[in-house]
Chains A and B, each alone.
Chain A
Amino acid sequence: MELSLATRTVGEHTVLEVGGEVDVYTAPRLRERLLELIDGGARQVVVDLGRVDFLDSTGLGVLVGALKRLRSAGGSFALVCDKEPLLKIFRITALDQVFPLHATVEAAVAADPSGAGA
């Protein structure tokens, strides 16, 4: 399945919904979209991986890049993922210790300290 990207806003948070396959071919489009959002002023970004059915090291690299960029800009970055196969990928790579991972968008927004009271 092709990559799909859709953006919506939840309070102060920008939520990027990703679907399909994120791999070495499609990851550059994900990177581009994340850069557009960040360059456009988004500082509290949640990436919803709920509809992703394939994610490889290139896609993970793009997500880490966005996390670092937002951190250095004083922003926040979180992932939404509740599928066991994807969660296993995060555990095996130790990236579960790098990303805030939540089961739902609501939980990700509620858990973001920079979003409280905003």
Chain B
Amino acid sequence: MATVRLSFSPAPVHVRTARLVGVAVARRAGVREDLLDEVRLAIGEACTRAVALHRQYGLPDPVLVEMSDSGAYQVRVVDRAPIEAGIGLAALNADELANESLTDEALTTGVGFALLAGFVEDLQVRPVDEGVGTEVRMVWPVGR
């Protein structure tokens, strides 16, 4: 069961709110202090990705963030964009990053996924169980 559930209209200004809530719940759940910067960054990246997809497809639907602390701290960030756009974990190497022909969007997406994969040991990106969309599921240990 979700401890805290947050849904926000897909606007960049709300991503900060999601980060702040995500870190506050993580702290209460007992996630180690030295992991909180990574929690903040990862939740931000997952929400930024969801907002970008909703805007790309002109979807007014809210982005959903669910945080629960049953056993470990689990965060799900759910978007409603078509799947073909949603999945693709492409980490770019240094040559690709510096390549002149790489678009800003492709660069930001690649860097965003590199950060998610780099900061979250337990990460899943998969289609939602019902309807259209993707969920990014991240889990952090709680040390009590």
Q: Are B97 and A64 in contact (CB under 8 A)?
A: yes
> B residues 42-69 with Cβ under 8 Å of A?
44-45, 48, 51-52
Q: By the criterion CB–CB under 8 Å, are A61 and B107 in contact? A: yes
**Count of CB-CB pairs between chains A and B under 8 Å:** 74
- B-contact 0/1 string along A60-103, CB 8 Å cutoff: 11001101100010000000000001000100111101100000
Could you say which of B91, B94, B100 has the most chain A C-beta atoms within 10 Å of its C-beta?
Answer: B94
Bound-complex Cα distance A57 to B87 (A): 17
Return chain B residues, CB-CB under 8 Å to A67: 98
Known contacts A65-B104, A98-B97, then 10 further A-B pairs from the complex at CB < 8 Å, ordered by chain A residue: A21-B16, A23-B12, A23-B15, A23-B48, A54-B44, A56-B115, A61-B107, A64-B107, A93-B111, A94-B93
- In the complex, 18 of the A-B residue pairs with CB atoms within 8 angstroms, ordered by the A residue number, are A23-B48, A24-B12, A24-B48, A24-B52, A25-B15, A57-B45, A57-B108, A58-B108, A64-B97, A64-B107, A89-B115, A92-B118, A94-B92, A94-B94, A95-B97, A95-B111, A97-B94, A98-B98
The 8 closest A-B pairs by CB, nearest first: A92-B118, A57-B112, A97-B94, A61-B108, A25-B12, A57-B111, A24-B12, A24-B48
A residues neighboring B (CB under 8 Å): 21, 23-25, 54, 56-58, 60-61, 64-65, 67-68, 72, 85, 89, 92-95, 97-98
